[in-house]
Structure 1
Amino acid sequence: MKKSTVTLEFNPDLSLNADGKHVREGLSTILRTGDYLWVSCDERCSLERLKKINEDTFGEHHSFDLSQFLKLPAGTDNEIDIEGIALEEHYLWLVGSHSLARRKPKKSQEPTDQMKRLAKLKVDPNRYLLARIPLIRNKETGEISLVNHSTHPYEHKFMLSAAQLIGNQAGTNQLMEALADDIHVQDFLKIPGKDNGFDIEGLAVHGERIFIGLRGPVLRGWAMILEVAVQDTHEGYFELKPIGSKGELYIKHFLHLEGMGIRELDISGEDILILAGPSMDLDGTIALYRWPQALLKSGQSITHRKELERLFEVPHGSGDTTGQNKAEGITVYDPHHAIVVFDSPAEERKVNENAVLADLYAF
């Protein structure tokens, strides 16, 4: 499989979060819209836009604070943990992980205190976010930007507006309420994502169909995609609308990804591309699959491994680079290539102090 690299250059003045972590250290998703790449870091409340400078470099970094477009329950004090972004018509869609987090042990602490941290779970209300933001091109400059409201470029009587899935008093949202009694998911909702618990890490949108990929749980080797649709309610919000045969607010698609969970989704023609990898916090096989004619399916589905096309594997950290080079995001770059970005990039991926290399694969 042919592979080349693309350089992503970030502005040093926009690239550090409150803890001093550089945006290039935690890239979790990527989307191409024309001459622009959109990426997110899983420890921020922003989206980063890069513009094509030449054939293998994107720069002119601009950062969009999502609290300016959406109502974040915890403001900007807590990360959104953005794990998927997608484009449909004139909207950029995004989804948070919707997962619990387990505290990490700190080596500087006494063993007893480290064990106590491993028993503590953290709930970040900002993670329970499914949202859309208008993505509009400036007619004079050609620049594509996020806006709160805009008239539709071609249907001037129609207004585009930023909105998000309605929340609840528990600090989560309507999707989590709908899944609370699900026969496959309910037992995993109280388990942290890195423990094979419920964890969203992929998003693709086609018309009214919203596909949400789950990194976990993986059930006896089977990964899951949830499909939902939404309808506007009051200003700034939308709600799930019934799409199942019995009025369910979601339907499920099971895919045998050979024991892997879903890291990212993207649409290619009538197919859905699936970046798959371990559901747990470990180094393991990461591969790209094609789910053929996925957009032609209706209703719930179950797809066996021989019905999927395994396109290629993406190298991951091991040995001296264990815990590094974790492929997290993928987007169709052109009709024949996909671009992959990595969380925790190894040193050889880092270019000077503010750039990082992404991989470009033929498929």
Structure 2
Amino acid sequence: MRKSTIKLKFNPEFSINADGKHVRDGLSTILRTGDYLWVSCDERCTLERLKRIDELTFGEHHSFDLSQYLKLPAGSDSEIDIEGIALEEHYLWLIGSHSLARRKPKKNQEPEDQIKRLAKLKTDPNRYLLSRIPLSRNKETGEISLVKHVTHPYEPNFMLSAAQLAGNNAGTNQLLEALSNDLHVQDFLKIPGKDNGFDIEGLAVHGDRIFIGLRGPVLRGWAIILEVAVQDIPDGFFKLKPIGPKGELYLKHFLHLEGMGIRELDLDGDDLLILAGPSMDLDGTIALYRWPQALRQTGQTITHRKDLIRLFDVPNGSGLTSGQDKAEGMTLFDKNHAIIVFDSPTNDRKLDTDAVMADLFEV
């Protein structure tokens, strides 16, 4: 159950995007690293860093333009739709949604034009991103920042460098190419995410194991986590390396989340915490699950609902607040609590002109 709230305060100087949307209105993922929270808005090419001010407040907002660290196909002109952040050693890992989007009808248009828009699909080249960026700590101030290259803090002969999955261009990368003949996923790659199509939401990294949560597709109530591993290649890229028994470039884990897709992942020891919710664009149950001993699993797995622990349900918008307070991001706040942030927060959740409340739950 909810224990308290955390105040996230943003800097108005870089909180509004070109369309006039405030960063607090589209929070899609969150990660805590010590005194810092890293959050993203799904309609930007930036990553936001907040610093702990007191026990229940994070501020001193700094925004990092990811085009300064990565080779984004569309530069800063197209959103990444960041849906997962993870920490492993000295790297911050990021993943985009990899999804198609269906255009929304506009009420001020003629009905015929609105209907035509529903037939149009769009893709943002930057969405097809799996990447890592080094973190560097200032020895004098203790401040942690993103950097493109930095010497390893404990191995002076080793350089940490930003890199991303090979093949990032307009509409594909090596992961999607590997999935193009997959028995379970291939038919959903051409379907928009909000239509139960292929849609990534959630990332967790442990050693060389990278876990990728899928909001969609959900197959007869079963959600999917992909597991991959990578190896570096020249010029700031890495590629998938074989991890399956027959040289497959990915493994699949099926989990019965009672009809829900995956919204966020985070590691808790050997367990995996899973924020789950509707795969499609609707109000519905959102819940936090624990997959016990997930890191001890090897090969492809299928986990039934009785082998998962449903920790709690997260309140969401309904009725007059339909379409609001959609839990999107989750990270461990400390060993006993998780912090959850919301897309499209209600006015009650907004504080002042540039702050928003996140919820703290016992886990």
**TM-score relative to the length of structure 1:** 0.99
Q: Is 2:348 aligned against 1:353?
A: no
Three-state SS of the structure 2 residue aligned to 1:175 is helix
Cα deviation 1:171-201 (Å, max 9, x = unaligned): 4100000000000000000000000000000
1:258 partner letter: E
Aligned-partner Cα distance in 1 for 2:244–2:139: 41
* 1:301 aligns to 2:301 (yes or no): yes
Partner of 1:115: 115
Q: Where does residue 159 of structure 1 map in the other structure? A: 159
Confirm or deny: 8 A CA contact 1:73 1:171 kept in the other structure. Answer: no
SS at match of 1:145: strand
Task: Quote the Cα distance in structure 2 between the aligned partners of 1:172 and 1:27.
Answer: 25
Per-residue CA deviation, residues 283-319 of structure 1 (Å, 9 max, x unaligned), is: 0000000000000111100000000000000000000
Q: Distance in 1 between matches of 2:83 and 2:286?
A: 16
CA distance in 1, matches of 2:292, 2:66: 34
Distance (whole Å) between structure 2 residues aligned to residue 274 and residue 335 of structure 1: 16
Q: Which residue of 2 aligns with 1:47?
A: 47
Aligned AA (1:183): L
Amino acid at match of 1:85: I
Q: Do 2:73 and 2:168's aligned partners in 1 also have CA atoms closer than 8 Å?
A: no
Aligned identity (percent) is 80
> In structure 2, do the counterparts of structure 1 residues 355 and 168 end up closer, same or farther at CA, with 3 Å as the change threshold?
closer
Partner of 1:274: 274
C-alpha distance in structure 2 between counterparts of 1:202 and 1:156, whole Å? 33
Q: How many residues align?
A: 363
Distance 2:343 2:188 in 1: 24
SS class of match (2:12): coil
Secondary structure of the equivalent of 1:194? helix
Q: Which residue pairs with 1:342 in the alignment?
A: 342
Equivalences for residues 1-363 of structure 1 within 5 A = 1-167=1-167, 171-363=171-363
SS in 1 for 2:242: coil
Judged with a 3 Å threshold, the aligned counterparts in structure 2 of structure 1 residues 170 and 352 are, in CA distance, closer, same or farther, namely: closer
Look up the SS of the partner of 1:356 in the other structure: strand
Residues 39 and 48, structure 1, Cα contact 8 Å, conserved in 2: yes
Counterparts of 1:302 and 1:192, CA distance in 2? 25
Shift, 1:168, TM fit: 5.6
- Distance in 2 (alpha carbons) for counterparts of 1:171 and 1:165: 13
Deviation at 1:158, TM superposition (A): 1.0
What 5-or-longer segments of structure 1 have no aligned partner?
none
| Equivalent pair of 1:24/1:356 in contact (CA under 8 Å) | yes
Secondary structure in 1 matching 2:194? coil
The letter of the residue matching 2:142 is G
Instruction: Spell out, residue by residue over 1:308-343, the C-alpha distance to the aligned partner (whole angstroms, 9 max, x if none).
Output: 000000000000000000000000000000000000
The CA RMSD over aligned residues, in Å, is: 0.7
Matched residue type, 2:83 = E
CA contact (8 A) 2:80 2:127 kept: yes
TM-aligned CA deviation for residue 170 of structure 1: 5.2
- Flag the 1:351–1:169 CA change in 2: closer, same or farther, 3 A: closer
| TM-score scaled by length of structure 2 | 0.99
Amino acid at match of 2:54: N
Q: In the aligned structure 2, how far is the partner of 1:169 from the partner of 1:330?
A: 29
The alpha carbon displacement at 1:235 in A equals 2.1
Deviation at 1:3, TM superposition (A): 2.0
Which letter does structure 2 place at the counterpart of 1:79?
Answer: E
Residue type of the alignment partner of 1:284 = G
| Counterpart Cα distance in 1 of 2:91 and 2:168 | 24
SS in 2 for 1:177: helix
Q: Answer whether contact 2:189 2:198 (CA < 8 A) is retained.
A: yes
